[in-house]
Copies of this chain bind each other. A is one copy, B any other.
Amino acid sequence: MIGSDFGAWMGSVQARMEGALARLLPAAGIAPARLHEAMRYATLEGGKRVRPLLCFAAGEACGAPAERLEIAAAALEMIHVYSLVHDDLPCMDNDVLRRGKPTVHLEYDEATALLAGDALQALAFQLLAEHRLADDPAAQLDMVGALAAAAGTRGMAGGQQIDLEATGKAMSLPELEAMHIRKTGALIRASVLLGAGCGRNLAAAEHSGLDHYAKCVGLAFQVVDDVLDADSSTATLGKTAGKDSKQGKPTYVSAMGSAHAREFAEELRRDAHAALAPLGARAPRLHELADFVVLRKF
């Protein structure tokens, strides 16, 4: 299913995003320099950029200009990165390795890591507000609201709190799913919807198809993450492997076993493909990304 040019497309989006993020983050040399350096350290040269890839893939399916997509994708990535920086803090997961590098609070200090995360969140909203991303400013306000909702208690921050409280407890599959829909699913869904929002107006069936696709991919992403966390090495992942089971956190692997979790991810992949039907042949990258998310090895 993944086309021969998918790797090149992915590489070009990733390279474009590296340039955009480097340009949109505050320069390291200006005051407060240490804060700006920490924000750049956390954000640049790291990660697969899954949220920007989904944003570009959805945007391209809707005819959105790349100049808009890179702003929306940068905002999404900054929200994601801020959550990683805060999640790694000693009072949360207390982690030492992220994207193959020491975590921000180790490389700098805890207070700087806290503020770098705070400032990345603010910058994400500043980008969405200060650049023209949609023809209709009211539609752009809706995009700001969608990102904020995805970051808040009905989204990422709420999922993180549920995750914290779940340590050492068993969770039913519906509870696990409810947690992950917030913790990772909400921002992945926002990635698809913000990308689409940068393009033409969609028919209702196209919009709900994209939304269902995003929900499937978001959940599949987490299921595969759990499988990889259980089955891979730290060197392969670039982050501490086996952490969830060591911390006694419920995962799809602990809840249904590795084999069933893989099957579940497969099922979500099929659903994601099917959900794209209303977009016809216009969404090749979204199809490929559904495969990439489920079939990835790191």
**Interface residues, chain A, with chain B CB atoms under 8 Å away:** 26, 31-32, 34-36, 39, 82-83, 86, 89-92, 109-112, 114-115, 117-119, 121-123, 125-126, 128-130, 136-138, 140-142, 144-145, 147-149, 151-155, 157-158, 160-162, 164-165
Cβ of B35 and Cβ of A119 under 8 Å apart?
no
Kindly provide the distance from the CB of A160 to the nearest chain B CB, expressed in whole angstroms. 6
A138 surroundings in chain B (CB, below 8 A): 137
Residues of B within 8 A of A35 (CB): 153, 157-158, 161
Residues of B within 8 A of A149 (CB): 122, 126
Are B118 and A86 in contact, CB atoms less than 8 angstroms apart?
yes
Q: How many copies does the complex hold?
A: 2
Other than A115-B160, A137-B138, A140-B141, give 12 A-B pairs with Cβ distance below 8 A.
Answer: A26-B154, A32-B153, A36-B153, A122-B149, A122-B151, A122-B157, A125-B125, A125-B144, A126-B145, A126-B148, A126-B152, A130-B145
Question: Is there contact, CB below 8 Å, between A142 and B129?
Answer: yes
CA distance A161 to B151 in the complex (A): 23
A-B contact pairs, 7 of them (CB 8 A): A32-B153, A35-B161, A86-B114, A118-B157, A121-B121, A126-B145, A144-B144
Scoring A90, A160, A162 by chain B CB atoms within 10 A of each residue's CB, the highest score goes to: A160
Also in contact, A161 and B32, with CB within 8 A (given A114-B92, A130-B145, A141-B129): yes
Of all chain B residues, which has the CB nearest A113? B91
Please give, as numbers and ranges, the residues of chain B lying within 8 Å of A142 by CB-CB distance.
129
With a cutoff of 8 Å between Cβ atoms, the chain B residues found around residue A121 in the complex are 118, 121-122
A152 adjacent to B123 (CB under 8 Å): yes
CA distance A118 to B34 in the complex (A): 21
Query: A154: which B residues are within 8 A, CB to CB?
Result: 26
Given known A114-B92, A114-B114, A153-B119, contact A148–B162 (CB-CB < 8 A): no
Docked pose: A155 CA to B118 CA in angstroms:
12
Inter-chain CA distance A259–B207, complex, in Å, is 64
Query: Are the CB atoms of A111 and B126 closer together than 8 Å?
Result: no
Chain B residues contacting A164 (CB-CB under 8 Å) are 111-112, 115
Which residues on the B side are within 8 Å of A86 (C-beta)? 114-115, 118
The residue in chain B whose Cβ has the minimal distance to the Cβ of A79 is: B122
Report whether B129 and A110 are in contact in the complex, using a CB–CB cutoff of 8 Å: no
Of all chain B residues, the one with the shortest Cβ separation from A133 is B141
Residue of B nearest to A158 (CB): B32
Q: Which 5 A-B pairs have the closest CB atoms?
A: A126-B148, A91-B110, A129-B145, A122-B152, A129-B144
Q: How far is the CB of A125 from chain B (nearest CB, A)?
A: 4
Instruction: Name the distance in Å between A249's Cβ and chain B's nearest Cβ.
Output: 13
Query: Could you say which residues of chain B place their CB within 8 Å of the CB of A160?
Result: 115
